[in-house]
Each structure stands twice: as structure tokens, then as C-alpha cells.
Amino acid sequence: MPAPRRAALAGAALLVLAGCSGTRDADAPGPDRSPADPTSSAAEPSPSPDQSSTPSSPSPGPESPTGSAPGAERPVGPDDLDPGVAVRAVRHLAGRIGPREATGRAYARAAAWVGDELAGLGYDVARQRVDVPAGESWGVPVPAGRSVNVVATPPGFDPAEAHLVVGAHLDTVPQAPGAEDNASGVGTLLAVATAAAERRTRLPVVFVAFGAEEPRGAPEDHHYGSRRYVALLGLQQRAAVRGMVSLDRVGVGGRVPVGSADDTDPVQQALLAAARRAAVPVAAEGGQRSSDHWSFVRAGLPGARLGSTPYAGYHSPGDVPAVVSPAQLERTGRIVLAWLAPR
């Protein structure tokens, strides 16, 4: 990293740390904040769209050549991924923190850590409160309570302008350390965010670590964090989302599953094309609705999922860092960076 860039990032990190790392305590009460204003103590009203108009349908169509990463010395590309960032995150989240039920203290610790990591890269970091009900998560009773989404945006980000969203859920079922499900996704998100922090993307990118993705009962009793994120978007902000990719269980296997909620999706097709450019083997899947991209798709926004290779430790105490393949983390991250790259 060039010395001026390191100094700039260090200065940004110090400023953020002086303000409690730019994030709100997961257990502290306070107003919800949309990604529109991640730096103020209370959110200002979102721009008021013309209520008589209908937002245009989001599409991955013509895009601005200017990304808005914190630093934009050169265009980002798949070779910029450092898989070591993802590996270290998996070891920290699943090896040191362990099970991260969405309303528990361990989840709050994980959210604070992820927020600090993103703030240290120069992003503006906000926390969205997510209220979740009591229920049963994979056979274990879980209490009602509060979770959070950790939302990182580039400095000067305008949510009403065209942008992309990269997300990964941070919570686990109560009995699992959650290395593959889903420290692998969060770690890959951090690795991608690290590369994008120093380089230009085709559009500004919002990075979100979602809370309360894991089930709490019936089929609809899940995805609370991403549903909350989408619900807080105004009409102009929804129209500005050009694509969302969910990184969920991306550390096992040799091919990267590329899932679409229906038979196909524009984002799925764009990710498959990105995989070809990045020389990564993939497997296309349809009918994939079991991750946070579904919250976007069901609201009419384009979204797809990377990940979901079956493995023996799913939702169990055996989901430990040793099951995660650094090579698979790298393959997934390369696809995302190829998708974000100017072209």
C-alpha cells in the first residue's frame, strides 16, 4: 500500500475510533439509521421522492465509470484479493468468538469487531437496529431481542445514486461456531472490502454484515436483518440498487455455487460472467431463496447468492475453522471483485 494511502487510512481510522469506532453499541438504545447517513448521531430524513411517481425498475444497465471507494488509485480486479484477510476473519469469528446467536452478547462482540475492521479501512460505518422475535433456531429455543446490521459505505456515499450491495450474515444458530455458516461469507466480504478500499469500482459499493438471518421457526421466521435493511430504503434508494450479492457458506467445495431466487436473475448472469473473467469454476443454481438476497429479490430488487455447497458440519458444533478452505474463499472473492470491476 502506498505510504500516503496508509497515512490517509490511519487518519480516518483515528477519527472513527475517536467517535466510538464509528459504530453504535449493539445494546444501546437509539434511533434507527438508514445507510443514507452513517456518520451522524441521528439520521436525517431521506430525500423525499415524488410520491406520485413510480421508481424505475433496478437493472444492471449502463453505469457510471466512476466508483467511490475510499481510495481509487486504480481499478479493482480479481487479482487484488488477499485471501489471508478472509482466513483471519474466519479464525477470529468462529475460533475466538464462537456461536453468535443474533440477540446474544457474542453477536454484539462480533458486530463490534466487524464494524471496527471496516472503519479501519476508511469506510463510514453505521448500525441498524433489528428487532427479532423469540422462536426456535435449528432445535434450540432463542429469545426475542435486538440484533444489528453493520453497514459500511464509502465516504460521501449518496444512497440515491446507483450502487451495488455486498452482504453476508454474521449470526449463527446457537450450537454452531459458524465457520462455514457464515464466517466464511463475512471473511470474504472483508477481503473484498479491503481490496475495494484502495481501488476504483464500477459503482459505489455498500458492504453489509446482516444480523438475524438464521431461522427462528417457520419458513418466514428468518432473514430479519436483510428484510430490515430493505424496509428502510426509500423509493429513490431502492431504485438505486443495481445489484446485491449475498455471500453465504462460501468456504467449502471446489466450485462456487451461483444461486438465483428464480430460474435466473440478471445478477446471477453477471456473476457467472465475472467468474469466467476471473477463471473460477462455478455451478449455476435456480430456486435459491435461503439467504439474504431473497429479501432484495422479493422487494423487486436484483440479487443473487454465492455459496451453499453441502457439507457435514452444517448447523452443528463441527462447523469449525478447519472445515473452511482458503482456496474456496479466494475463488469466491475473485468472482465478487470481477463483478465490481470497471469494464
User: Which grid cell is 39?
Assistant: 456518520
- Which run of H or of E encompasses 169? strand 163-169
Name residue, grid cell 464466517: 183
Model confidence pLDDT, tens digit, residues 290-332: 999 999 999 999 999 999 999 999 999 999 999 999 999 999 9
Checking if the pLDDT of 240 tops 80, the result is yes
Q: Read off the pLDDT of residues 143-179 as tens digits, 9 standing for 90 and up.
A: 999 999 999 999 999 999 999 999 999 999 999 999 9
Q: Which three cell numbers stand for residue 323?
A: 472445515
201 within 8 A of 69, measured Cβ to Cβ: yes
Read off the pLDDT of residues 187-212 as tens digits, 9 standing for 90 and up. Answer: 999 999 999 998 999 999 999 999 99
What mean pLDDT, rounded, does the chain reach? 84
pTM: 0.82
Give pLDDT, residue 220. Answer: 72
Mean pLDDT of 47-53: 31
For residues 160 and 240, the answer to whether their CB atoms sit within 8 Å is yes
Could you give the percent of the chain with pLDDT greater than 70? 79
As a whole number, mean pLDDT of residues 86-108 equals: 98
> What pLDDT, on a 0 to 100 scale, did the predictor assign at position 128?
98
Cα 54 to Cα 17, 61, 94, 236, 296: the distances in Å are: 41, 18, 44, 9, 18
